[in-house]
Amino acid sequence: MIEVSFQCKYGKIAGLCWGKGNKKKILALHGWLDNAASFAQLAPFLAEKGYEVIAIDFAGHGHSDHRSDGHFTHFIDFVLDIQDVLNELKWIKPILLGHSMGAAMAQMYSASFPEKIEKLIMIENIGPVPAYKKGTAASNLKEALLQWENHTTEHKHFYLNIKTALKARSKATPIQPENLYPMVERGLKKTIKGYHWRTDKRLRLRSPFRFSEKVIQDMLSSIKPKTLLILAKPYTYALSYKSVEKRIKKLNPDNYIEINGHHHLHMDNASEIYSAVEKFLNS
């Protein structure tokens, strides 16, 4: 595993690479508030089988730069990060592998340029967060505006050491500690006051804009590369919305697999996920 970085239009995108120089290429995209190290369990399996895997830290995550001061962190902007990184890599028809938010972003990029992507692997997501409920658009925008007006990027909570930060993250994300550690360590910054999360605090603000469900399903049904969809069984909190089954039908993946586990099953169930991915990539 080595560190890599890319100069995008907004700033630096950092990342990790496994299997550098291997012929087959995979760009791995993490979930909301995670970072590139969320692939620390799965990527070595793929590297051993001849894949070069580069996992990036999306803007405001891990070691990547934050968006400029005064700018909102719209999730759709992460697709711009994907485009900038792929343009710099100059790979010919790579594979996109995304987890959670990263899966949604990978699908949106693949639908925009299906001719540029060899295959698409989506883990634990089927498109962006659902739109607001009908009749709540104005009240939700008001809440977003108030949050923006009152937000601060100043860090007020610090951890004594990585161990205490790991314990805190474990409460929110039930992952085996040894698997969670690399992602937690990468997500922390040490200061004289202790450790704080590197993550851009603006990522937690309510979005003033979301795609409608019609737009999301239109995107899912667009022409795309050969696609593998992997979901945890039973459905996790990430898929706790009514349109899940409709979205699966619209996506119409070439392969669809359900695996017992939780939302971060690519970390705790890495070998099982790898087996499904390898079978799909070799088909």
Told to judge if 100 belongs to the known catalytic residues of this protein, a careful annotator would answer yes
Q: Where are the beta strands (DSSP E) in 57-210?
A: 95-99, 119-123, 188-191, 194-197
Q: Closest Cα to residue 123, out of 108, 134, 107?
A: 107
3-state secondary structure of 189: strand
Task: Tell me if residue 216 falls in helix, strand or coil.
Answer: helix
Alpha-carbon distances of 175 from 21, 178, 280, rounded to whole Å? 31, 8, 26
- Specify burial of residue 127 (Cβ count, 10 A radius: 0-12, 13-18, 19+): buried
Q: How many CB atoms lie within 10 A of CB 222?
A: 15
* Rounded Cα–Cα distance for residues 151 and 144 (Å): 10
The active-site residue, picked from 100, 110, 112, 240, is 100
Say how far apart CA 166 and CA 159 lie, in whole Å. 10
In degrees, rounded to 5, the angle at the alpha carbon of residue 81 between the alpha carbons of residues 83 and 158 is: 165
Residue 25 φ/ψ, nearest 5 degrees? -120, 135
Question: How do strand 24-29 and strand 95-99 relate by DSSP bridges?
Answer: parallel
Residue type, 98: G
* Cβ atoms 257, 276 nearer than 8 A: yes
Residue 151 exposure: Cα atoms within 13 Å on the Cβ side: 19
Active site residues: 100
